[in-house]
């Protein structure tokens, strides 16, 4: 009985320390770039603001239907750091709530796209020369033949414009790129010895796919996902800019830019503030993305 317990415990403990060492090593490479750390801090701040938007924003009512024509079109001042829009709403508050929508977009889209795309890629790459590969990859080929923003716009146009549908549209347009990358990685890994030995020892398909091949795909997945975060926000902003995303009065950054466009150039802050917010958020994600790339970069001895 004691021996049985030992067998289970030691590998577990070893796994834990190995994981801790790996994480330490990754953090060491990541933190060498000061830029990436700045990006990480920035994203944390923005996430914090978004989660506690109700408490952080000076005027949470501004995020929804709120009319105060007395305060309308005020330029940036001490009371309204980003000024007010044509309805009298505080733009800073709207921007903070708008961050909520953008962050939600990234999280949900990646949570849908990465599992589906990776799984399909694993299946297609492993079961090569079967109908599984053919079906999956032909469909993937169709989806990657046009720019994702375009496909997302088309899908959004066919559905009612709101935030959920925008998320859906972007997910539909995005999954195929992950499938393709993982497919390429899987096909090249398929000939590796450890895969072959797992097959020979009778491992189940799910074990081979998820415990042998998947850990080696981690680097391209993480790299791509971190660079995609910025792109997804950009796509989302573009979709709502043309009016196919969240509808007013919901606070959404792209929509705010577009509604402020009509009032250019006199009331420039109405569209410039959300523009700045978009650029800042995407920039922080790109900083992080570069840091993650440098984790997996081959070091110089």
Partner 1 sequence: MNRTIKVILKRFVYLLIVLLGLSMLIFTLARIMPGDPVRMALGARAPEWVVQRAIEENHLDKPIYVQYYYWFKGILKGDLGFSWVTRRPVMEDIKIFFPATLELVLYTDILILFFGLLFGAIAGFYSNTWKDTLLRMLAYLGISAPPFIFAIVLMVVFGSFFKILPTMGRVSEGFVSPPVITHFVTIDSLIAGEFSAFFDAIKHFIIPVVSLSLKPIAEMARITRAGIIENLEKDYITAAKSYGISQKVIMSKYLLKPSIIPAISLFGLVSVQLFPHAFIIEGLLNWPGLSRYGMEGILNKDLNSIIAVVLVVGLLFIISSIVVDLITSWLDPRINIREGV
Binding site for partner 1 (CB under 8 A): 35, 138-139, 141-143, 145-147, 149-151, 153-160, 230, 234, 237-238, 241-244, 257, 261, 264-265, 268, 271-272, 275, 278-279, 282-283, 286-287, 300
Kindly state the smallest distance separating residue 193's Cβ from partner 1, in Å: 25
Q: Which is nearer to partner 1, 92 or 257 (CB)?
A: 257
Kindly state the smallest distance separating residue 50's Cβ from partner 1, in Å: 18
Burial zone of 161 (CB within 10 Å; 0-12 exposed, 13-18 middle, 19+ buried): middle
Kindly state the smallest distance separating residue 138's Cβ from partner 1, in Å: 7
Kindly state the smallest distance separating residue 194's Cβ from partner 1, in Å: 27
Distance CA 285, CA 54 (A): 24
Q: Which is nearer to partner 1, 59 or 286 (CB)?
A: 286
Q: Which region, left, alpha or beta, applies to residue 2 given φ > 0 means left and ψ of -120 to 50 means alpha?
A: alpha
Distance CA 10, CA 12 (A): 5
Give just the sign of the alpha carbon dihedral 122, 126, 132, 134: positive
Q: Which is nearer to partner 1, 23 or 146 (CB)?
A: 146
Bridge partner residues of 212 (DSSP)? none
Kindly state the smallest distance separating residue 256's Cβ from partner 1, in Å: 12
| DSSP letters spanning 58-99 | S-GGGGSS---GGGTTPPS-SSSTT-B-TT--BHHHHHHHHH
Q: Which is nearer to partner 1, 159 or 218 (CB)?
A: 159
Q: Which is nearer to partner 1, 47 or 280 (CB)?
A: 280
């Amino acid at each position: 009985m004691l021996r049985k317990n030992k067998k289970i415990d030691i590998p577990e403990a070893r796994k834990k320390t190995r994981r801790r060492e790996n994480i330490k090593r990754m953090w060491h490479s990541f933190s060498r770039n000061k830029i990436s750390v700045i990006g990480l801090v920035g994203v944390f701040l923005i996430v914090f603001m978004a989660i506690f938007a109700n408490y952080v924003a000076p005027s949470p009512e501004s995020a929804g239907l709120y009319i105060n024509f007395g305060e309308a079109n005020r330029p940036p001042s001490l009371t309204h750091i980003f000024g007010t829009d044509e309805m009298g709403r505080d733009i800073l508050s709207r921007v903070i709530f708008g961050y909520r929508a953008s962050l939600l977009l990234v999280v949900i889209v990646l949570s849908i796209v990465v599992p589906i795309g990776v799984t399909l890629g694993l299946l297609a790459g492993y079961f090569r020369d079967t109908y599984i590969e053919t079906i999956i990859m032909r469909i993937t080929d169709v989806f990657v033949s046009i720019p994702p923003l375009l496909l997302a716009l088309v899908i959004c146009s066919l559905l009612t414009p709101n935030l959920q549908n925008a998320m859906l549209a972007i997910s539909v347009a995005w999954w195929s790129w992950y499938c393709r990358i993982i497919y390429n990685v899987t096909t090249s890994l398929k000939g590796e010895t450890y895969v072959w030995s797992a097959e020979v020892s009778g491992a189940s398909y799910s074990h081979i796919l998820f415990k042998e091949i998947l850990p080696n795909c981690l680097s391209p997945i993480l790299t791509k996902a971190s660079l995609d975060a910025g792109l997804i926000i950009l796509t989302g902003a573009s979709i709502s800019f043309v009016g196919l995303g969240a509808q007013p009065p919901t606070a959404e950054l792209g929509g705010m830019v577009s509604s402020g466009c009509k009032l250019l150039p006199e009331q420039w802050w109405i569209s410039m503030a959300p523009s700045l917010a978009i650029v800042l958020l995407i920039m922080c994600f790109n900083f992080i993305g570069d840091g993650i790339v440098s984790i997996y970069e081959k070091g110089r001895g």
